[in-house]
Structure 1
Amino acid sequence: MILDKEILAGLIEGSPYPIYLILGEELRVALANAATLKAWGKDASVIGKRFLEALPEIDGQPFEALLRQVMRTGEAYYAVNDRADLMIDGQLKTFYYTFSYQPVKDADHQVIGVVCYATDVTQLVESASNISRMGLEAVENNERLAAINEALAASNEELATTNEELTESTRLLELSEGRFRSLIQQAPFAICVIRANDLVVTELNDRYLELVGKERTQLDGKPIWDGVPEAAEVYAPVMEKVFQSGEAFFAKEAELTLIRNGLAEQVFVDFVYEPVSDLSGNVSAVMVVGIDVSEKVRTRHAVEEVEERIRLAVEAAEIGTYDLNYKTGELVGSARFDEIFGLGNGVNRETIIDHYHPDDVHLSVLAHEEARKTGRIFYEARYIPKGLPLKWLRFQAKVYFDANGNRLRTLGTVMDITVYKALQQQKDDFISIASHELKTPLTTLKASLQLLVRMRENPNTVLFPKVIDQASRSMDKITELVDDLLNVSKINQGHVGLKKNWFNLSDMLEKCCIHVRESGSHELILEGDKSLMVYADEHRIDQVVVNLVNNAVKYAPDSREIFLGIKSLGEMVKVSVRDNGPGIPADKLPHLFDRYFRADERGTQVSGLGLGLFICADIVQRHGGEIGVESEPGQGSNFYFTLPLGEKEE
């Protein structure tokens, strides 16, 4: 998250247009790029100050009230060619800006600040004023010319004088028109003048040609929509309305697709269609004045995109964010932050630490002290919400300092890692169990092999069969443990395939569990419908039954009889394995089919990795069936699973 903020800061700082961020009810300057500081005539020391404290000369100007309006209503404010008087190098100077105030909202959609995007249009306004003045001069010269013509008609005696005045007026008119054309050519923004009756371009400057990506020969003296046909569909009706109504049309960040130098480009333009009237008040032309603001718009879009990515990443990771002010102690957290701690809005740091596990209370202080040197905070602590289970939390943050090295604030994240810690503990427990379970048969197998090596030359006919039998049992146990691990690995990788065929359930149950039948310790009794056929993977179903019978032998050693049941349930069949053992406590029943769960948690009575029932559940579910258990302490246990009788023929 820190990297993303640095990218965001780089985008804003590199913008050639003034961009600044105002936060909080005090309207503090939280961010101002180089273009803003240059426009204000200030240095970076204004960052962190209140708006009027940073710019005292704007007191009495409307900007503070506009900022508070946006903060209050949450609605953006736009201004075109707005005046601002700023103190530059000790002198109060007048500037004009086209700008927008955009509300900045937190994750709860509450307005916490205002971001300003501005464009200095001082030259544009001054040039427009000069153009207007030149137009007035032209009108005055025309009026003078009309007066001279009247005088010429009224008196032949003054013909010579009138001719001289007419010549002078013509010269002044030509001079005015020349100055007007020169002003258009030298303007720092795009200008194009379009005649009303035929929409022919009469004047345009190089900036306009750059804006539309055309050669002068393509536009000068030609109908405007012949030169820029790609914009005609949208803006030809708009221009026609300006001719008819005599009212100007303003466009802010208008998105256009222009054919520039033969290639289609998407651009954003601020422009105005300004009607130009003759002496009779009729609109004789439209003056188009435009500024390419594509870079500013793309920069803002990039900033917004980065903000959105950060927001989505934070939400997807279920991360809480917070801002801690070291001076005031104020702690502002996101909705997820409040949800994690469960203490409501406005909670302070001390209250949170009071809920830490007693052994972890000191961790926050140590982390903040370490951050004085590193600027980073990272620690994990146990948090105990009132009346709720303990949580593991992970804190990561960056500390910001002032010019003197004093801590100002911390921006950070908090994540609930309780599940991660539980999985970590589960992994450690499993490794311990697996090591313990493998150690016993390996030790026995090793001892048996050592005895066999000693008896190689002179085998003891009495002891030899016993050693072989012991080694075989140890090898079977190791094989069983390894098979469980391999089956779980296949399940995790999705490699457990089913080879289905039709078979008789009764025959399969009669043949399974040979090892139990031969041992003579338990009797397997088959009950139910012995004629049922199912379409399933016989080997996998045999594996399920063997596992359930083995569990009955392990956990109910005194229940000599184990009942295998088959029952038809319409389109399903139910297979059960029932014993008369001690039963299973109710609190353990929901977890029996979880990975690594063992009913005998101490591992003192039975061995195993806690994977058998998990594997059984996966096999049954892959067949489209369900697995479950019914048990009460002292009443024995009944494990069962269901299977579809067979696939429907198409």
Structure 2
Amino acid sequence: MIENTFGMDIMPENEHDRLNALRRYKITGTPSEASFDGIAKLATQIFNAPIALLSLVDAESVYFKANIGMGTTKETNRGQSLCSLAILDKKVTGFEDTLKEDILLTNPNVIGDFGLRFYAGAPLITHDGFMIGSLCVIDKHPRAFTAADRQILEGLARTAMDQIELRSSSIDKIDELEGVNITMATMQQRLLELNDEMELANDELYRTNSQLNKSYDLTVLLNKNLKKSERRFRSFIDKAPIAFAILKGRELVIEVANDMMLKLWHKTEVILGKPLAQALPELQGQPYLGILDDVFTTGQNYIGDTAYARLESMGELGDHYFDFTYEPLKNDEGETESIIVIANEVTERIKRNEHLEALNYQLEIALKAGELGSYNRDIRTGKMDCSETCKLNFGLTKNDRFDYDVLMQSIVPEHREMVYQKVQDAIQNKTTYHAEYLIRWPDGSLHWINASGLPKYDAEGNATHLIGVVADITKRKNYESQKDDFLGIASHELKTPVTGLKGTIQLLERFKDKTGSDIISRLIDQSAVNIKKIVTLVDDLLNMHRISEGQLHLEKTTFKASKILTSSCHNIISQGNHQVNITGDLDADIFADEQRLEQVLVNFVNNAVKYAPESREINITVEQLQDRIKITVKDQGEGINPAVQPFIFDRYYRANHEGKSYSGLGLGLYISAEIIKKHAGQIGVDSTVGLGSSFWFSIPLPTAEK
């Protein structure tokens, strides 16, 4: 409960909706802005009041968006602020002498040291009727406040509200207004100069007022200074950071048009004093002259949102879009005399939106062509907005319910944790989510899904949505399975003849020096090299088949790290083309399948030689971490593009090496990854283009393993 010093209910019946209306403007608690300070300053000048506030009434506090005369105060308690009363009535709330008001006799601002004796506040009314704050003038002396004063204050409050509306509609164009800020700074300096002039004028007026009778009608004094105030008002309007114009009479004669409005109209000051229809003949046939006539007749304001208009510039008509307000100015009898026009051009925003719509249309065509389903998951609620193709990929119709719970239930149990963890990793690390998993359709059939997504975050960095695409890859998976079966059978059938051929060539190598023919010796050497490549390919296929069938078995023993490091590098060292540097804890104990681990190291070292031939040094490091042992093979080659690094351990993946041709099936790193995974370890690559690559793996220490 907030403090209430008024002895009456200060909460409007629509308080909840009113607060929502206030917060949509995103203005409470923001720094002061010259445009609002100028309006408050203008109020102090017009009413000769020492204090003017542009206040915004929140749930418990009243924020001062503009503060003239109250020092550095930014906010106050709602239960003590008279602005809380100003939002209860759409008319001006005024107290000529606060000590004569019963509801104010316990208010600390009235009976305390501040000594508030006069208050007049006009509510800030939104376009949909909510009163979110007030423009008020305050004095520490009692004073009269006439009907004309009320009308002027209401007009200034409407101008302030129009500025708030325009500020809200233009908040996404702050960057474009940086140039205007320079103008605002100049205007602020000019306002300070005017303030100095006004202070001198106020001193003179004070001396004059002291000689007048206390009952002298304040309206007479205001009328005497009306022309002076009008000149200052025009100066303020001319330099204001909004497009502003006043159209006088039913003929809509352009009485005032500031620099911003002339720029929007693509005109110069020569149009001042001319009827709008004459100054902008291109408006004939467009609805705006008719709308202005209706505003003049009915006395009701009109707000236009992204309205289309054709305007002439450099002799040619162009398409433009505007947010604008038509506000009638009335005399004491309530008759419309003029119309205020406030406008903001949003053409660039509309063009960007049209461009985005075109891109969305192209994306939709691409998704359909690729049979991709799109989804947008609300991370907090689990609700999903999915395309029809997305639902079809899960065996559902476009009318079936499909949220995150339904998705997870459709995934086979052995894949659910993997999918959940990949989604969480993407959210926490702000990376792309990618997964392939098996699902069961409502009809019981099994299908493979390839899913990708990217998290979306709010201003506080909290993940709000996951947006992405899914594809049914069942056919591809079936083809891969058939290919794996074929390669498994082929590799088994090739193993025996290849082994025999290898033995034959090894026998021939023993006699090559006795043939007496250099050609025969060279052919035997070439055959030995080629049979070695064939044996490697067949072994890779056999290992891949064993992995696919879950038959990759390990025979673990305990051995020193130096043992496999020396044996895996022996062939490279013996050739003498590369220098291999082995450092680290070489006496560390390893509990693993020695042959399989050596196979991984040989693959790393051979790749360093194969893909980084200019890297004459290969560095191998052994690190004993808290519960794991890590081995890293680093080259100084070209490095690997970051875009392909996530796929480098995939089966059959072979990176593009800019026209260079390398032999192999793309299985080496895949098999290495599966061997390390079988050891409950981790495998990875760290690479920067131009600085080389580091391939590494880590497995549990013997104590952790056992």
TM-score by length of 1: 0.37
TM-score by length of 2: 0.34
